[in-house]
Chain A
Amino acid sequence: MELIDSYLALVGAGQAGWGPLLLTAAAMTIGVSVCGFLAGTVIGSVVTFMQLSRHMAVRWCADCYTTILRGVPDLLIIYLFYFGGSSLLGSVGGLFGYHGFIGMPAFLTGTLALGVVSAAYQAEVFRGAFKSVARGELEAASAVGMRPWPKFRRIIAPLVLRYAIPGLGNTWQLVLKESALISVTGLVELLRQSQIAAGSTRRPFEFYLTAVVLYLVITWVSSILFKRMEARTAQGIRRAL
């Protein structure tokens, strides 16, 4: 009992107020993950189209992209965007006569890094989904005289989405966990906030344990949401059978 009381006084909304801060930080974790994931969807779609291209050189570029981004540690990519972006901003500042240090915004770093990394995984998911679209569906669409764009928007895209959702769910979980790495850039997300709290109270165990629990809650809730989405997009299949 005493243990729980002292824990609540430390982490709860008590006088120290770390609880609300941790929850805000958890919201930041979700925010940067969502932005990174969506950026990854956009970049990943482009890479998928490149993978499906008729030209070998384009396909080769896309292959290089996925191989490199999946083969290099994500921490290095975060360092690249953080320090590389800062030095790039510094040289742009130099053009305008400002020679001080311009730091790369941490949220932007996180979004870009998570975006380019998750794009590599999402591209593979989308490619698999594209390949599972039955030829008959495409031929049927052409047979009723659909032009390429409506055919893509009304036939191919919904089918691809349906096949891709389980894979996208995995990628989302990956991005969510990877967002903890953004703490090295100083963005106050869940891990960084726990570090700050652990440092100032000298009680690292309680705060990191809380962080683990919060991450578990987020991943658990999002897995339920993805299950629901999967069920909804699969409705058409059930009705047809």
Chain B
Amino acid sequence: MDIVFMRETFLTLLTGLPLTIELAVTSILAGSALALVIALFAVMGGTIGRAITRAYVFVFRGSPLLVQMFLIYYGLGQFRHGLQDLGVWWFFREPYWCAVLALTLNTAAYCSEIFRGGLQAVSMQQVEAARACGMSGILLFRRIILPIAIRHALPAYGNEIILMVKATALASVITIMEVTGLAGKLIADSFRAFEIFIVAGAIYLAINFVVTRMLMVLEFWLSPHMRMPPNPTT
């Protein structure tokens, strides 16, 4: 174990950290927004809406993310002229945006199932109670259904966020130099896989540790009704 080498590796890999976090945050936010739309379709879209969402979820959960990424980055590159005519070539030209798109579409499939479960777990009585108070439409959805659904979905959603942080590593395969991309390059140059692996692994573990703590805080904040009542004797 060479401490000096590991410290140098650590400093090199840290330069890839912003890109890793950027990829994860962008695709989680975009993916969650898309997932919410898909989940609403699945719950309220009728037979056709349900069939479309089920097909979407089947395709994106049933095939490897890496293949989806290749299909988008290399596969769509084949239609360069068509995409140039549509004016979207700048998007598909960049490996970064292709990676974000693949990650977004992939996580939206998983998240939509989580959100669907959350939405379906909202009990009818709570909706009826809100309706009895005169709430309906967007207000009902925003004030009653969504908060309860989020509370139900949060633990599974937390797992999905951690999976996404790990999934950003695949972007390295389409030439993006985030933490794993830099690690792979360093390993190929120096052949010291163990040291580099330990440093890169520690970086990912640190990110995921922070993420899990943040989720715990969020869960605590979102569930005041589950907390122990303050002790009246003290």
Binding site for B on A (CB under 8 A): 67-68, 71-77, 79-80, 82-84, 86-87, 173, 177-181, 183-184, 191, 194-195, 198, 202-205, 208-209, 211-212, 215-216, 219-220
Q: Does B176 contact A (CB under 8 A)?
A: no
Q: Is the CB of A215 within 8 A of B205?
A: no
How many interface residues does B have (CB within 8 Å)?
Answer: 41
| B164-181 Cβ-contact flags toward A at 8 Å (1 or 0) | 001111101100000010
Q: Is the CB of B71 within 8 A of A212?
A: yes
Q: Which residues of A contact B208 (CB under 8 A)?
A: 71
Q: Is the CB of A76 within 8 A of B74?
A: no
Which 4 A/B pairs are nearest by Cβ-Cβ distance? A73-B169, A180-B64, A83-B193, A84-B193
Q: How far is the CB of A183 from chain B (nearest CB, A)?
A: 7
Q: Which residues of A contact B192 (CB under 8 A)?
A: 87
Q: How would you classify the secondary structure of chain B's contact residues: helix, strand, loop or mixed? A: helix
Q: Which residues of B contact A203 (CB under 8 A)?
A: 78
Q: Show 26 A/B contacts (Cβ-Cβ < 8 Å), sorted by A.
A: A71-B166, A72-B201, A73-B170, A73-B180, A74-B166, A75-B173, A75-B180, A76-B183, A76-B200, A76-B201, A80-B197, A84-B193, A173-B62, A181-B66, A191-B66, A195-B70, A202-B78, A203-B78, A204-B70, A204-B71, A204-B74, A205-B71, A205-B75, A208-B75, A215-B67, A216-B59
Question: Quick one: given A79-B197, A209-B71, A212-B71, are A220 and B62 in contact (CB under 8 Å)?
Answer: yes
**Bound Cα distance from A84 to B208, whole angstroms:** 24
Q: Is the CB of B204 within 8 A of A205?
A: no
**Bound Cα distance from A67 to B166, whole angstroms:** 13
**Bound Cα distance from A183 to B70, whole angstroms:** 12
Name the CB-closest residue of B to A191: B67
Binding site for A on B (CB under 8 A): 58-59, 62-68, 70-71, 74-79, 162, 166-170, 172-173, 180, 183-184, 187-188, 191-194, 197, 200-201, 204-205, 208-209
Most chain A CB neighbours (cut-off 10 Å) among B59, B71, B205: B71
Q: How far is the CB of A199 from chain B (nearest CB, A)?
A: 9
**Bound Cα distance from A215 to B66, whole angstroms:** 12
**Bound Cα distance from A73 to B22, whole angstroms:** 17
Q: Which residues of B contact A86 (CB under 8 A)?
A: 191
Q: How far is the CB of B215 from chain A (nearest CB, A)?
A: 14
Q: Which residues of B contact A178 (CB under 8 A)?
A: 64
Q: Which residues of B contact A179 (CB under 8 A)?
A: 64
**Bound Cα distance from A203 to B79, whole angstroms:** 10
Q: Is the CB of A68 within 8 A of B67?
A: no
Q: Which residues of A contact B78 (CB under 8 A)?
A: 202-205
Question: Quick one: given A177-B65, A181-B170, A205-B75, are A83 and B204 in contact (CB under 8 Å)?
Answer: no
**Bound Cα distance from A208 to B68, whole angstroms:** 8
